[in-house]
Structure 1
Amino acid sequence: GPSTGRDDRTPRPGSDRPAECVPLSRAQRRMWLMERLGGTGDSYHVPFATRVSGPFDVAAFATALTSLVARHAILRTRYTEHDGEPCQEVLPTPRTVPVHVVDTDEAQAPELLRRETARPFDLAAGDAVRALVLRHGPQDHTVLLTFHHIAVDGASLETVAGELADLYTTATGGTPRHTLAAAPQYADHARREHEALSGFEEELERWSELLADAEPPRLPPPAAPAPDTAVRPAAVRTVPLTPTVPDALRTLGAQRQATLFTVSLTAAFAALHRLTGDDDLVIGVAGTHRSGTAMRGLVGLCVNTLPVRVDLSGAPSFSRLLRRVGDALLEAQQHRHVPFDLVLERLGAGARGADGTALVRVTSDVLGEPTVLRLPGTSAEYVDLPSDGAKFNLSYGLDLADPARPRALVQYDAHALDDAAAQTAVRDYAALLDAVAADPELTLDALPAAGPQDGSP
């Protein structure tokens, strides 16, 4: 095929694959298999929506988007099979992404956005990004980009938003703030990972020790089974926190050499302990394969699940538990470049349920301010588009998207947990965050349980 100006189609030494075929990274491979199995719905779609107020030039935006796709080959990559093995092939540039414009009032916008984010992708055709613009008025638009997760992660959106702003400025005849250097390409990362796989033996042994006999958390089963659908329906519950809590938790962490992330993860362990009654618990956290300057500005899927296993026995104080969690998290992060599905393969059937991700059923995160598209001469507002599908049974989140209104949040799979249990889970999590912000020496059995009236649906 035509050259892309890179070595994407150069034969690799000793490779019997077709020249243009690059192996999938392990994270992509998992995503590809999930798509093949079906039933993921839109849980692996990554919508990125911004309300743009001010003059918006649709043609310039379309030009910018086409330039972005030309810069990042992963956004014009198709997924095929050779000899039963999945591989990725870069389509030659230029590839134009059509920008559909729909005139609509505010009342109909959420449904249009929801329908667009849920539309399936054709990965075999190299379909990884779509664009829709809703025009509410001459200077009022909602700009929606929908990506497939196989091509982007959260950190990629920062790069996408920054580069689109510069490319749009150029397309409108302005002077961009940054001169864009050549972009690193994901296929190179996938090749490097593929070549490194044989060197993971020692670290896989270490993971095996850390997770020997670990079991997924035993969540209380739903009182009534949810209607059986292929997609695991996602639901969210939140409870507002006192506005001073995040800073109090940061201070508590700083006094004990722990980040806010580690403090909130410790609260998630304490809340999960209360929900399950188990002392030996595993919670997954998002790791990344991004390290060093070579991967700065890389668009692609570089996330890795890190299972963190903690012993909660002996009614430790929150402070002591924080040390245990910090040690376990540090150990997991030291092996963060070993793909999680390799770890699962090594652990064998005991650690893997029918859905393939049994060991990590519960996750925890701190949700910061979301990325928005800041175009010159306009003001930008984030538009939240919840997914219909849950990736995990239960996810605890310290939600700081609006710093003035912090919230405790749980997202859950309605097949795995009923609303009442989820409501209890988020209230407990909120009560724990509030309590330890005031007194981190409280022991787990002395930490307050949420009253049934606390919180909001």
Structure 2
Amino acid sequence: MSHARHPLSFAQRRLWFLQEADPGSPAYNVVLVFQIRGALDRAALSASLLDVIERHEALRLEFVGSGPDVEQAAAPSRDEPPLEIIEVPWAALDAATRRVSSRPFDLQTEAPVRAALLVAGEAEHRFVLVLHHIVMDIGSRGPLLRDLAAAYTARCDGVSPRFEPIEARYEDYVEWQRRMLGDPADEQSRAGEQLAFWRRTLAGLPEELALPYDRPRSDDARHEVGRVEFDVSAETHAKLLALARATRSSPFMVGHAALAACLCCIGAGTDIPIGTPFAGRMEDFQGVVGLFINSLVLRIDLSDDPTFEEAIRRARPRGRAQPAVPNHVYVAECVIR
């Protein structure tokens, strides 16, 4: 390790624990795939990747240790091209993409980012960028891709990119988080207060919702997911916005209440906990690549058969069941532990 070590953020510790529990799993690979048709400057693309890795220290993090003692540090800038060039026939392009994107990371021996350019013809390329979730969240996509595009444009012009300076680093966020929260064992600290809040909020939480599954639930975590897409008409969307305004809520809160009501109606009970991601990214870190996202449990009590408008009100952050948002900093694995 060539730079000073520092602790992991609480969200990173969660990801580290999950990866250690299943080291051969690619479940926490974040995959960005771009189909490129036409001329491509491979040298410029490779150089722009190095530019972005140099700019964002999270992409150069090395991890050392195991269990609760793991630490991280930003490695020095890389000199070798991080872009792997793979020649593949067009018919094998999808299979090659799956191979690149599904290879798990060994965080103790390799960088948390890899890239491959799949070449299916002179003007047919697929660029596959794979990052481990421990250094990347959905809020990082914007700054990462903006910087990559700016760097590629500059390199195609034969010059180095001129980025706007980033005032904060991910390490600064980790330090701020620990300084702000303090010691969880101290009941007077922010961490102690939030821990007490979450213990109260989650007391008596159902271990599992009694959903009407169409098949037996597996005992093994296979990390297999499904995706259902549907369209919302302009008329329905307008009604949703009108209902949100009438109840002084957001469309998200209306959707949350609707999901809770739906689960209740199909047999999940009346105490409905729903997990949701929370961005957790402050203004100072908007341009920083890193893991800021947090998980929240939003809980609604429907035992008194409320109207839907009342259920929406309960989905509001300061409503009957949702004081969770102001306490979002203390993350899930700390509460569970």
Give the TM-score range, shorter chain: 0.7 to 0.9
1:81 aligns with 2:65: yes
Aligned-pair distance for 1:131?
0.8
1:201 aligns with 2:186: no
2: CA distance, partners of 1:70 / 1:170: 15
**Equivalent residue in structure 1 for 2:309, among 319, 330, 338:** 319
**Equivalent residue in structure 2 for 1:333, among 317, 320, 325:** 325
CA contact (8 A) 1:102 1:133 kept: yes
SS at match of 1:125: coil
2: CA distance, partners of 1:262 / 1:96: 48
Aligned-pair distance for 1:156?
0.6
1:219 aligns with 2:210: yes
2: CA distance, partners of 1:160 / 1:205: 37
Q: Residue 204 of structure 1 aligns to which amino acid in structure 2?
A: L
2: CA distance, partners of 1:23 / 1:308: 29
Q: 1:237 matched to which residue of 2? A: 228
CA contact (8 A) 2:210 2:268 kept: no
CA contact (8 A) 1:69 1:76 kept: yes
Aligned runs of 1:72-111 on 2, under 5 Å?
72-81=56-65, 85-111=69-95
**Equivalent residue in structure 1 for 2:296, among 299, 303, 306:** 306
TM-score normalised over the length of structure 2: 0.87
Q: Between 237-246 and 55-64, report the one with greater CA deviation.
A: 237-246
Give CA-to-partner distance per residue, 1:400-438, whole Å, 9 cap, x none: xxxxxxxxxxxxxxxxxxxxxxxxxxxxxxxxxxxxxxx
1:246 aligns with 2:231: no
Aligned-pair distance for 1:314?
2.8
1: CA distance, partners of 2:24 / 2:204: 28
Higher strand proportion, which one?
1
Aligned-pair distance for 1:97?
4.6
**Equivalent residue in structure 1 for 2:130, among 146, 160, 172:** 146
1:48 aligns with 2:39: no
Q: 2:255 matched to which residue of 1? A: 264
Aligned-pair distance for 1:122?
1.6
Q: Residue 309 of structure 2 aligns to which amino acid in structure 1?
A: S
1: CA distance, partners of 2:315 / 2:291: 27
Q: Residue 207 of structure 2 aligns to which amino acid in structure 1?
A: P
CA contact (8 A) 2:297 2:324 kept: yes
SS at match of 1:283: strand
Aligned-pair distance for 1:148?
0.2
Q: 2:47 matched to which residue of 1? A: 63
2: CA distance, partners of 1:284 / 1:227: 20
Aligned-pair distance for 1:172?
1.0
1: CA distance, partners of 2:206 / 2:300: 12
Aligned-pair distance for 1:206?
1.9
CA contact (8 A) 1:130 1:146 kept: yes
Aligned-pair distance for 1:106?
4.4
SS at match of 2:77: coil
CA contact (8 A) 1:79 1:126 kept: no
2: CA distance, partners of 1:225 / 1:139: 48
Q: 2:9 matched to which residue of 1? A: 25
1:114 aligns with 2:94: no
CA contact (8 A) 1:70 1:95 kept: no
Q: Structure 1 95/250 Cα, relative in aligned 2: closer, same or farther at 3 Å?
A: farther
SS at match of 1:236: coil
SS at match of 2:226: strand
Q: Structure 1 85/46 Cα, relative in aligned 2: closer, same or farther at 3 Å?
A: same
2: CA distance, partners of 1:332 / 1:151: 25
SS at match of 1:322: helix
Q: Between 220-229 and 303-312, report the one with greater CA deviation.
A: 220-229
SS at match of 1:123: coil
CA contact (8 A) 1:68 1:163 kept: yes
Consecutive unaligned residues of structure 2, counting only runs of 5 or more, are: 184-188
1: CA distance, partners of 2:6 / 2:169: 12
2: CA distance, partners of 1:205 / 1:152: 29
Aligned-pair distance for 1:227?
6.8
Q: Residue 281 of structure 1 aligns to which amino acid in structure 2?
A: I
Q: Residue 186 of structure 1 aligns to which amino acid in structure 2?
A: Y
TM-score normalised over the length of structure 1: 0.66
Give CA-to-partner distance per residue, 1:153-177, whole Å, 9 cap, x none: 0011111100101111111117899
Q: Residue 282 of structure 1 aligns to which amino acid in structure 2?
A: P
1: CA distance, partners of 2:200 / 2:164: 45
Aligned-pair distance for 1:221?
6.7
Aligned-pair distance for 1:74?
1.2
SS at match of 1:66: helix
SS at match of 1:64: helix
1: CA distance, partners of 2:275 / 2:141: 22
Q: 1:375 matched to which residue of 2? A: none
Q: How many residues align?
A: 328
2: CA distance, partners of 1:328 / 1:180: 44
Aligned alpha-carbon RMSD (Å): 2.6
2: CA distance, partners of 1:267 / 1:72: 40
Aligned-pair distance for 1:194?
2.5
Consecutive unaligned residues of structure 1, counting only runs of 5 or more, are: 3-8, 10-19, 346-457
Q: Structure 1 155/319 Cα, relative in aligned 2: closer, same or farther at 3 Å?
A: same
Q: Residue 235 of structure 1 aligns to which amino acid in structure 2?
A: G
Q: Between 40-49 and 325-334, report the one with greater CA deviation.
A: 325-334
SS at match of 1:308: strand
Q: Structure 1 321/33 Cα, relative in aligned 2: closer, same or farther at 3 Å?
A: same
Give CA-to-partner distance per residue, 1:118-159, whole Å, 9 cap, x none: 101120124211111223443332211010000100011111
2: CA distance, partners of 1:175 / 1:329: 55
SS at match of 1:302: coil
Higher relative contact order (CA 8 A, sep 6+): 1
